[in-house]
Structures are given as C-alpha cells and as structure tokens.
A and B are shown apart, each in its own frame.
Chain A
Amino acid sequence: MSWLFEPGWWANGTVRTALLVGFVVAVVSAIVGVFTVLRGQSFAGHALTDVATAGGAGAFLVGLAPLAGFIGGGVAGAGAMDAIGVQRVKGRDIATGVVLGAAMGLAALFLFLAARDSSATGTTQLILFGSIFTVGPSTLAQVSWLSAGVLVALAAIARPLLLSSLSVELAVARGVRVRWVGLVFMILLAVAVGMSAIVIGAILSTALLIGPPASALRVARRFAVGVVLAVVLGVVATWLGVLFAYDSYYWFPSHRGLPVSFFVVAVVLVEYVIASVVHRAAPSPSVAAGWS
C-alpha cells in the first residue's frame, strides 16, 4: 500500500485533523445540500460562501474571531436575501445576485484594508481558497458543535421542509408556514456554508454542498437513501482529495503539492459523471425525476 500512502501519512497530526474536519464538514454539507438541490437553491448556497467570506474578512479586520465573522456574514446575507424576496422563484435569482454583488464589494474593501494594514501575505488566498491543512484542533471542536446544532435543527424541520420543497401548495394546505420554514432553512444553510467556507474554502464549500447531493439524487429512488448516499459520496471525495493532495507533494521534484480543493472537486465531478451514467443506464422514477 506504500504506493498509495506516501511516507508520514499515518503519523501526521495535521493530516488526522484534516481528515476529521473534512468528515464533519462533508457530512453536514451533504445533508444540507440534499435540500438545497431539491429546492433549487444552489445559487444561494454558493453565494452565501462569498457573503460569508466578506464577513470573515471584516472580522479579520476588526480583530474578531474569523469563524464568528464567516457565520455572522452568512446569516446576515441569508436574511437580506429573504427580505428582498427569495420566496418567489423568479425573484430569487435577482435577490441572490444583488446580495452577492454587495457582499463582493464589501469583501473587496475588507481584503484591501486587511492587506494594507497587516504585513501578513497570502490573506486573500487563505480566505478565498481556505486550506484544510491549516485547521487547528480547537477549530475542529467548534466546528463539530456547530455541525451537531445544524443537524439537530434540520432534523426538527425536515418533514415540513421536504413537503414545501416538493410542493408549496401541498405544504400550505397542510398548514406548514412555508415562509418561516424557508427562512430557517436559509439560516441553517448560511451557518453550514460559512463554517465549511472557513475550514475548507469557498470552492470546496460549494463543491461538497452541491456535487454529492446532485449525484445521489440522480440515482437514489428513496429520499433517505439519497441522503445516506450523498453523505458517503461527500466523505469519500473529501478523504480521497486530502490523500491525493498529501501525496502530490511527492509527485513533483519541486515538492510543490497541488491544492486539496483541486482533488476533491475532481473526485466530486467523477462521482457525478458515474451517477449520470448509472442514471441513464437505468432510468428510474428517482427522487429527482421531476427535478432533473
């Protein structure tokens, strides 16, 4: 197995933390992501990573904990999108776009100020692209607690959320307060995304939120199976990505490894292609039948 696991893999504390954080984030992203894909809110899910990034940059600037900035920024963004009108399907796109545009402006300002006022280099890349290898054990604990909170809250609203994702009319008829359920979900999405954006970066955050759930929904016939499959696909992609990134350090004589995000996204895309092939080979009345 030494060809697969380069030296030091098993003894490396950074790697172990990376695998653990990756696991937690992949699980939460997959579960939240299944609802995001079903509800057609991929754009919002992605935009919130950038909005959270602006929050993180702002927190960095004023010396607050970055995690608080990321999550605060994300939740504020989710609230703004809801206020502008994410409920109407046609309005959603614009609401998300306007909030995203404003957040990018703020991010530009904060990053500029942060770069001007501190001697630290690489701030931009670190905040934008993140790195799973820079996560400390204390962050791991915080992330785990937050994740548990998100999952418990999601479980509490899961049934009405699923119903209102499939048909707003049906949900209203059953007495579901669609608007509130939608808003609570947006806030949970913002927390999940903000958290994953800081530990694994904006790219991976979107990749893990949309990729594995989209693949799972293509092949799964039952919703619960879809959720489990999404989790498995997400965790596999993350772990393989970390492994390849670690190994890639030894691939080139220059010892310049390739980023984790590159490998995770590559695995996510391969999974998606396989799921599409399976889906086409056996067209089934899958969960996503009406959605694809």
Chain B
Amino acid sequence: MTSQLHEASQPLLEVRGATVNIDGRDILRDVNFSINHGEFTGLIGSNGAGKTTLFRVILGLQRQVTGSVLVHGEPITRANRSIGYVPQKVLFDPDLPIRARDLVALGADGHRYGLSRRPRALHAAVDEMLDAVDAGSFADRRVGGLSGGEQQRVLVAHALISRPELLLLDEPLANLDPGSVEEIIALLHRVSQRQRVAILLSAHEMNPLLPVMDRVVYVANGHVASGTTDEVVRPSVLSALYGHHVDVLRVHGRVLVVATALPVGPAPSDQHPEFVVE
C-alpha cells in the first residue's frame, strides 16, 4: 500500500545493521528494516524487548549505537523535521498553565529562541491538527488535567504540526480501555491517510493492529524480523527470533503466538504450548 506519490525506489526510513550496546550488553543486535512512504507499520515485541531503544535510535537520541539509520538516504540528524514522536507517557503537572493548544503550538516553534509573534497561519494549523485528532472540544483545557486518552491525542497533534513524513508512537495503546484502543487506531489510520504520513507504532499486542497494519517489525531478544504480517508472523521466523520453538495459532481472525520452552531444533509436533508470549 505504498503511497502513490512517492514511487521513488528509496525508502523513507532505512535502518541498516544497527547495534546498541550498553555496558557490554547488546540491547539491539544487527537490526535491519525499512519503512516506505505512507505505510502503517507495527513495531511488535514484549516489554523490554528494545522497542523504546529502537525509537531513540531513529530519533538520534541514543548513544552507543553502531550501524546506520538513513532518512531519504541521508544519515539521521537530531531533531529531524521529517520525524514526529509521541512518547509513551509524559507526566504533566496538573497545575501547569499550559493548554492543549499551547502544547501543540510548541511542537511548531518551541525550539526557536526569540520572541516573535506567532503567525496567523500557525494558529490555523494548530486548530487543524486538533480537529484532525478530535481534540477540539478540550483544546482550551490544561493539558495536565486531561485524561490519558485525551493527552494521547494532543501529543499526536503536537507531533503532526511539524508536518512529519513519519510518525513514531511509543506504546500509545498501553493503559487504554479496549474501546479507546479501537478508536485511537482508527484515528491514526485516518490521519496517516489524510496527512500522508507513515506510522511506526509500537505495541506488545498485535491483534488490534491487524486490520490497519501494512507491515510488521517484530522485536525479540534484541533481534528484529520485518515484512508483511504473513511473512513475519510464522513459526519458522519467530522461532529463529526467540531462540526457541514458537507456534502461531490463528483463531477467529486473531493471531496467538504461543511458545514452548525448548531450544530450537526439530520441533516436536506433540509439544504442548507452555506459555503465551504475547
């Protein structure tokens, strides 16, 4: 479902052989994948698998990294305008005199020194972004007083205002109730198509994403496998990733990744699943 506008052969983001080693431990090892324009990619892995570290690598915030990360074929720089970022959790002081719309506006000019008047166009853009994430109704309330789901939307608007080509979302579905999960996924899918922005969304549970996901990047043990869902979510690929045998069960349109505790080998067919990875 690559965007028709960018048919250039070059991917939007390309990670080549990225390894992150902190205090002698490999957090990520030889990670390779790419993301094309307008794609919706799920970054799937359990807690502690290295998803946030991978985001930090893409944002240029991670030290101790080898390998290369290319955006439009160029090495990344910090504060790359073509990448927007929505962190997992931002703790806002409820007494902070900053409204939702103030935070969104800071996404556009918060890094600029000096005191110039905000152009009219920026105010219009702030309203547009708040509408795009259905946040118009609480735009004038303190950001610290909003609910988790509301803050999530405001943070998406904050990331979108610099008109990025790629949006990184770190576990946006954690701590949301099932109804809100579907709502925010639908919203992100709509945003990605209307604003023509590629999305890389991390989650530890892939099922809610199956209807919208173009590709999946699966992280386990610091290793990564990527491709379409059908290419990656297969016993052979995931078993190699986890280092022990894994079964993939498809039930009622849902995918269950079920692991046995044995090391990789010729998989015994009568082995009972012992625990569920997801």
Using a CB–CB cutoff of 8 Å, the interface residues on chain A facing chain B are 90-91
Contacts and interface: CB of A to CB of B under 8 A. Distances in A.
A246 B106 CA distance: 58
Contacts of B93: 90
Nearest to A94: B95
A183 to B, nearest CB: 22
A225 B95 CA distance: 40
Contacts of B95: 90-91
Nearest to A283: B23
Interface string B46-61: 0000000000000000
B189 to A, nearest CB: 35
A160 to B, nearest CB: 25
Interface in B85-106: 93, 95
A3 B233 CA distance: 80
B23 to A, nearest CB: 9
Nearest to B91: A90
Contacts of A90: 93, 95
Main secondary structure of the interface of B (DSSP, over half): loop
A284 to B, nearest CB: 12
3 contacts: A90-B93, A90-B95, A91-B95
Contacts, number: 3
A106 B4 CA distance: 72
A91 B91 CA distance: 13
The 3 A-B residue pairs with the shortest CB-CB distance in the complex, in nearest-first order: A90-B93, A90-B95, A91-B95
A90 B91 CA distance: 10
B144 to A, nearest CB: 9
B90 to A, nearest CB: 13
A90 B95 CA distance: 9
A90 B90 CA distance: 14
B98 to A, nearest CB: 13
Nearest to A90: B93
A90 B93 CA distance: 7
A91 B95 CA distance: 9
Contacts of A91: 95
A91 B93 CA distance: 9
A272 to B, nearest CB: 25
Nearest to B94: A90
A155 B93 CA distance: 34
A193 B191 CA distance: 57
Interface in B226-266: none
Nearest to B92: A90
Interface string B103-140: 00000000000000000000000000000000000000
A91 B94 CA distance: 10
A141 to B, nearest CB: 47
A91 to B, nearest CB: 8
Nearest to B23: A283
Nearest to A91: B95
B262 to A, nearest CB: 33
B175 to A, nearest CB: 15
A209 B95 CA distance: 31
A219 B93 CA distance: 33
A122 B49 CA distance: 64
Nearest to B93: A90
B92 to A, nearest CB: 9
Nearest to B144: A90
B224 to A, nearest CB: 29
B94 to A, nearest CB: 8
Nearest to B96: A90
A164 to B, nearest CB: 19
A5 B52 CA distance: 60
A230 B93 CA distance: 34
B54 to A, nearest CB: 24
A280 B93 CA distance: 34
A90 B96 CA distance: 10
B200 to A, nearest CB: 30
A125 B228 CA distance: 75
Interface in B19-36: none
A90 B94 CA distance: 9
A261 to B, nearest CB: 36
A218 B95 CA distance: 34
A128 B164 CA distance: 57
A89 to B, nearest CB: 9
A90 B144 CA distance: 12
B141 to A, nearest CB: 18
A98 B152 CA distance: 33
A126 B123 CA distance: 58
